[in-house]
Structure 1
Amino acid sequence: MTSRPRSFYVLSAFFALFVLFLYGPVATIGILSFQGPGGGLTFPMRGTSLHWFRELFAQQAVGDIWGSFRRSLALGLLVMAVTVMVSTLAGLAFRKRFRGAGALFYLAVASLVVPSILVSLGVGLMFDQAGLKVHWATSGFGAQLTWTLPFGLLIMFAVFNRFDPSFEEAARDQGASAWQGFAHVVLPIIAPSLIGVALFGFTLSYDEFARTLLTAGSRNTLPLEVFGMTTNVTTPVLYALGTLTTLFSLAIIGACLAGLWVFGRRGRG
């Protein structure tokens, strides 16, 4: 039996440390959220119970947890829908070369290299100078699109670069219109990628902090509310909130993966 090279053990240890640093904080918050009524923010734990989850659903003396959650959910769904729609249309448009395509592409993805806080500051100042109200559904929505759209565009450009146009040609040979060819041929093929873009759009919006900091106005989104709570909440109710939001995010990812599995089975069928 041949022995494994030393590099295997080095890479395995590195990967183990990576997993520890990635999921260790999440696991710690999850464990501490199940403390008893006298629990604190650090180990050792003081009993186990669901007390802090019940406190989370009780009337809160500080913060607007559920209002901020509803705002983040609505904003995430709106950003997701626009990201999917614009990315798909842009992917279709860039299938053919046109004058200024290169400049337009780099302009669209340039916001990825701009510091997020500068984007937030710029959008907030622009709305203020234009006499428009800074609000999470307007300026916050626009600031978040500068983060989600470039990812969606890059994904759809890669998808359409590998797309075989012979499928559309076959549909046209069968008498299908341009819309019928897209709806019945192109859309089912790219549907798994659209689910991926939707997942990117929603999750990037749902947990975005920096680009929303100066563009949300007087109503916080959930990341801003959680950040505010860290300065005045000294009980594990904050950990209970973190556990529930993590489970919610995992549920969204699970739903998207289930959708990919369904489309994969249909494609093989």
Structure 2
Amino acid sequence: MQYKMMYLLALPGLAFFILFKFVPMWGLLLAFQQYNPYVGISGSEWVGLKHFIELFTDHNFYIMLRNTFAINLFGLIFMFPLPILLALMLNEVRHEVFKRVNQSIVYLPHFLSWVVVASLTFIILSSDIGIINKIMSEMGYERVAFLSNPNYFWGLITAQNMWKEAGWGTIIFLAAMAGVDPQRYEAAVVDGASRFRQIWHITLPAIRPTIIILLILRLGHMADVGFEQVLLMMNPLVTSVAEVFDTYAYSIGILKGQVSVGVTVGMFKGVVGLVLVLVSNYVVKKMGHEGIY
């Protein structure tokens, strides 16, 4: 075979997707059953769309929908452009040692667990032992309940994501920028273009396909919110703005043992993500750009 080595290299990734993405899809049957672990899937009662009807008529459904999309919208507005901006800045650094050191620094937060990030947030913003509130108190200002005020929750989640993942997100954009023909920059210099003009007319158009593809994929996750992050940052005072589909599926499906309801929530999220990907890809192609297929 001509591409035998290529197929061999792709085999581990393909095996991962088959084992952990495609094989578990049979579990979606649970959304249409009243699952009983003692009799298994084959012996559980079929209830049709009962769980979907109960989910859509639940008084918390629209609250969870609002919170989920609000958090993701904040991320789309503030988080998505940040890796692009950071990659453009790093790409302009000419001192290789300084560039690599800075890349390593901005990558590091990605490798911290959300438990560590939540702990750092508590140490910094807690109303009693938080560093910020201690400084404000010393300056004569009143302490602010950052972690228990619902008005701050969505912004806090977004800020955590920006700090933790922005650096890691630059990898793809830096790789795309590395593929830009250097002769285009040389021609721009000859024509008298400034660095900003080179970025605007050469770098950004060159990475536009990458930006579009990542944007489409990001829209496909609009129904997903980092479960561990939200669960760690939740408290009774911010439940009204923190309850999302992921935490609901955990509390109902795991803590209360209603596995079928948890699967129903997951299936609903998957359908929403699929629809958003198809619609956004269609719009992008109608605008004259290449989509993901």
- Partner amino acid, structure 2, of 1:104: N
Equivalent residue, structure 1, for 2:245: 222
Q: 2:90 aligns with which of 83, 94, 100?
A: 94
Q: Contact 1:148 / 1:204 at 8 angstroms: preserved in 2? A: no
Q: Contact 1:192 / 1:260 at 8 angstroms: preserved in 2? A: no
Structure 1 Cα separation of the partners of residues 272 and 123 of structure 2:
33
Q: Which runs of 5+ in 2 are unaligned?
A: 133-143
CA shift, 1:164, in A, is 2.3
CA shift, 1:224, in A, is 2.1
Could you report, residue by residue, the CA deviation over 1:110-151 in whole angstroms, capped at 9, with x for unpaired residues? 012212211122123322113442243122112222343133
- Partner amino acid, structure 2, of 1:22: K
Specify whether residues 102 and 117 from structure 1 end up closer, same or farther in structure 2 by C-alpha distance, changes over 3 A only.
Answer: same
Specify whether residues 204 and 115 from structure 1 end up closer, same or farther in structure 2 by C-alpha distance, changes over 3 A only.
Answer: farther
**Higher relative contact order, structure no. (Cα contacts within 8 Å, ≥ 6 residues apart):** 1
Q: Contact 2:68 / 2:222 at 8 angstroms: preserved in 1? A: no
Over aligned residue pairs, what C-alpha RMSD do you find?
3.8
> How high is the sequence identity, in percent, across the aligned residues?
17
Structure 2 Cα separation of the partners of residues 234 and 226 of structure 1:
9
- Which 10-residue stretch deviates more, 127-136 or 162-171? 162-171
- Partner amino acid, structure 1, of 2:80: V
Q: Contact 2:35 / 2:45 at 8 angstroms: preserved in 1? A: yes
Q: Which runs of 5+ in 1 are unaligned?
A: none
Q: Contact 2:68 / 2:244 at 8 angstroms: preserved in 1? A: yes
Structure 1 Cα separation of the partners of residues 247 and 272 of structure 2:
17
Structure 1 Cα separation of the partners of residues 76 and 16 of structure 2:
33
What are the within-5 Å matches in structure 2 for residues 224-243 of structure 1? 224-230=247-253, 231-232=255-256, 234=258, 236-243=260-267
Structure 2 Cα separation of the partners of residues 110 and 119 of structure 1:
12
**1:209 and 2:239 equivalent?**
no
Specify whether residues 70 and 173 from structure 1 end up closer, same or farther in structure 2 by C-alpha distance, changes over 3 A only.
Answer: farther
Matched residues, number: 252
Task: Please give the TM-score of this superposition, normalised by the length of structure 2.
Answer: 0.69
Equivalent residue, structure 2, for 1:264: 290
Q: 2:63 aligns with which of 67, 71, 79?
A: 67
Structure 2 Cα separation of the partners of residues 191 and 213 of structure 1:
35
CA shift, 1:214, in A, is 2.6
Structure 2 Cα separation of the partners of residues 107 and 95 of structure 1:
15
Specify whether residues 183 and 205 from structure 1 end up closer, same or farther in structure 2 by C-alpha distance, changes over 3 A only.
Answer: farther
Equivalent residue, structure 2, for 1:57: 56
Specify whether residues 161 and 14 from structure 1 end up closer, same or farther in structure 2 by C-alpha distance, changes over 3 A only.
Answer: closer
